[in-house]
Amino acid sequence: MKKEQRNWAEISTRENSLEYILPNRDYNKFWEEGVEQAIVLERFIKPEFTVLEYGCGVGRILTNIKCKKKYGVDIAKSYLDRIEDEDIIPLQTKQQSIEIKNETVDFIYSIMVFQHIPMEYHKAIFSELMRILKPNGVIYIQFPIKTDKFFSYYKDTDFVNTYSIGDIYEIIHGHTFSEFEIEKGNLVAYGDNGSFKPEEDLEYFLKITK
C-alpha cells in the first residue's frame, strides 16, 4: 500500500484540492450535490441533535444539515480552514482519536471517507465513533461495493478501497448494537458533473443503532 498517495493533509493544500473531494464537478454542482446528499440524511436527524460528520472536508454536506450542534471532523486542516458555516465546530483528528467526550453525539455519518483510509485503521476509527455515540444514537457509513465485474465503476486502487460484507463485519466485530443493517444504494450522483446515474447499486450503507 502506498500510503503517501492518501496523504490528505498534503492533498488538501493543492490548488485543485476540491477535485479530490468530488472529481469533475464545476463549483456550483459541487455545492448543489452537497445539498442533495444532506437531504438524503434528513431522515436520521432531529432539530435537537448533535451531529458529527467524519471526514467532512470543506463542509459540502454538513453545511446543509440542520440541527442543534454540528462537529466537522477531518484529518486535513486545510480543508477544515475552508469551512464557512460558523455553526460547524471543526475538529482535526489526531491519529484515530477524536477530542469529544463519551456518548455525546446523536448521529454520526461518513461519506466517501473510509474508502480513502488504509483498511488497517478502520477498526480503531469505528471504535472511536462508537465511543462518542450516545446510547440509541446512529452511525451511518458508506462503503463502495466490491465487485468482480470487469467494467465496474469502482476498482481497488492505491487511493480507493472497495468492500465485501465480510470486510464490514470485520470492522464492527466486537461491538454490540441494538440494531444493525447494511443497505445497498447509491450516492446522489456520479461521473462527469454528476451526470451519471448508475443502474445498479454501487454502495453499502452501514447503519448501526447503539
Ligand X SMILES: C[S@@+](CC[C@H](N)C(=O)[O-])C[C@H]1O[C@@H](n2cnc3c(N)ncnc32)[C@H](O)[C@@H]1O
Q: Is 154 in the site for ligand X (CB under 6 A)?
A: no
CA–CA distance, 140 with 53 (Å, rounded to integer): 10
Q: Which is nearer to ligand X, 51 or 56 (CB)?
A: 56
| Residue 72 touching ligand X (CB under 6 A) | no
Which residues make Cβ contacts (< 8 Å) with residue 22, sequence separation at least 6?
30, 33, 60, 112
**Interior/surface letters 164-179, b for 16+ CB within 10 angstroms, e for the rest:** eeebbeebbeeeeeee
Q: Does 55 bind ligand X (CB under 6 A)?
A: yes
CA-wise closest residue to 103 among 124, 132, 80: 132
Q: What is the closest distance, in whole angstroms, from the C-beta atom of residue 178 to ligand X in the complex? A: 26
Q: Does 21 bind ligand X (CB under 6 A)?
A: yes
Judged by CB under 6 A, the stretch of 38-46, 75-83, 136-144, 158-166 that binds ligand X is 75-83
Decide whether 49 or 54 has the Cβ nearer to ligand X.
54
Q: Which of 52, 83, 112, 141 binds ligand X (CB under 6 A)?
A: 112
SS3 112: coil
Helices (H) and strands (E) in the chain, counts: 6, 7
- Does 60 interact with ligand X (rule: CB under 6 A)? yes
45, 75, 129, 168: which one contacts ligand X (CB under 6 A)? 75
Q: Which of 18, 83, 100, 113 binds ligand X (CB under 6 A)?
A: 113
Distance of CA 183 to the CA centre of its chain: 15
Cβ atoms within 10 Å of 14's Cβ, excluding its own: 11
| Residue 58, number of CB atoms within 10 A of its CB | 25
Can residue 8 be called a binding residue for ligand X (CB under 6 A)? yes
Residue among 65, 111, 171, 172 that touches ligand X (CB under 6 A): 111
Size of the site for ligand X (CB under 6 A): 18
Q: What is the binding site for ligand X (CB under 6 A)? A: 8, 12, 21, 55-57, 60-61, 74-76, 79, 93, 111-113, 116-117
